[in-house]
Structure 1
């Protein structure tokens, strides 16, 4: 798995977070598949010039599967997705609550990772309209990200996770690795 050109699946690509992370992925060298089950979300994805792929097809060859779905359904969605993931793939969630609560489906050969932006700092200088307009991050203002990954994950896999994390939340100052509990 090369960190420069990964295959990424975004599950929930038409929701608030799905749209945000997909915008940056669309500009990257990664091969990206966008999955969305709601008709309104599918319309939003297509309006941005992205194609919809079924979840089953998006997940099967992905190096990284991003669950950009509401926290309340992360467990159920992961139960449908994790069994289909290829060995060595990364399941990336965008909030640590479900991982910390043990609600995500697990498989010994699938790596679990979590990443959440710190959001742009009010203390860093902003010089462009795009930076000033970006209050959540991922659209212009630099931000830090806090991330966690399974213990004993090989460095190359962690590097791949970090490459995707830096892409979805770009521009990123630094990725701070912690444990899910932290």
Structure 2
């Protein structure tokens, strides 16, 4: 039997992409959108929004493609309209990990999924796929967590997530805490922080030392390509002895000894609270 899926935020930047995917996959799709810009996007895509009441009536799955800081509020406002066994599917771990979902509905299923985005190193040959950095055209892996609900609901959550973020290479099962450690922890608190510093380093090369910006950026991006390939197993790891010596010198200058704490559940929870509640 075809599953019914209500999509909150169907006309949003993220919501529209996954709404189109679910429509193409043949689900009984019920797009819910209140914003004028979102409604215009849906109309342009040939998709008609429905009212909240229409969308939630007897629905199997409710996807909340919404900003993290309103997910808890929306979930609480609609929970009384959801039958036992209905799945709430959240597209990011921040709100669930920040304890924002309703606690008075143990009979609902809470499922969390998130895309890994297309990898740096892949075998895509299509031009559009080669230049797809977010996913939806290029293949990507995804991560999924069953936070609350019967074990058999895990397969349904995966099915919906794989349709939303297709084409999918593989699906990794994690806990909600592990997903939060991956994001916001690994991908934002750690990786994005370092990327931001690298961008500032290119600024420094240009503004303080007079290096042509294009030269600095070409040099950095090319070296990132080979260094990431070597360290993550896409190429033999063969840096020179001199490079390894200066690596250790640089790490002592730049990295705090306790940098690994950024991945600890305690600090990741603080990051999730900052995302969802605007404060720690």
TM-score range, shorter chain: over 0.9
CA distance in 2, matches of 1:133, 1:35: 30
Matched, 1:158 2:154: yes
CA distance in 2, matches of 1:71, 1:118: 18
Q: Which has the higher strand share?
A: 1
Match of 1:128 in 2: 126
How far the C-alpha of 1:152 sits from its partner, in A, is 5.9
Structure 1 residues 124, 14: closer, same or farther in 2, change over 3 A? same
How far the C-alpha of 1:172 sits from its partner, in A, is 0.7
From 75, 88, 104, the equivalent of 2:101 is: 104
1:53-132 matches, cutoff 5 A: 53-106=50-103, 107-132=105-130
Match of 2:20 in 1: 23
Structure 2 segments unaligned to the other structure (5+ residues)? 179-280
Contact 2:109 2:148 in 1 (8 A): no
CA distance in 2, matches of 1:29, 1:103: 31
CA distance in 1, matches of 2:79, 2:112: 15
User: When the two structures are aligned, how many residues end up with a matched partner?
Assistant: 177
Structure 1 segments unaligned to the other structure (5+ residues)? none
The runs of at least 4 aligned residues of structure 1 exceeding 4 Å deviation read: none
Match of 1:170 in 2: 166
How far the C-alpha of 1:47 sits from its partner, in A, is 1.0
Question: Which structure exhibits the higher relative contact order, with contacts defined as CA atoms closer than 8 Å and separated by 6 or more residues?
Answer: 1
Q: TM-score, normalised by structure 2?
A: 0.61
How far the C-alpha of 1:130 sits from its partner, in A, is 2.4
SS of residue in 2 equivalent to 1:181: helix
CA distance in 1, matches of 2:76, 2:149: 23
Q: TM-score, normalised by structure 1?
A: 0.92
Greater Cα shift, 121-130 or 6-15: 121-130
Deviation per CA, 1:53-74, whole angstroms, max 9, x where unpaired?
1122212221110000111111
Greater Cα shift, 100-109 or 118-127: 100-109
SS of residue in 1 equivalent to 2:176: coil
What is the CA RMSD across the aligned residues, in angstroms?
Answer: 1.3
Contact 2:113 2:161 in 1 (8 A): yes
Q: Which has the higher helix share?
A: 2
Highest CA radius of gyration, 1 or 2?
Answer: 2
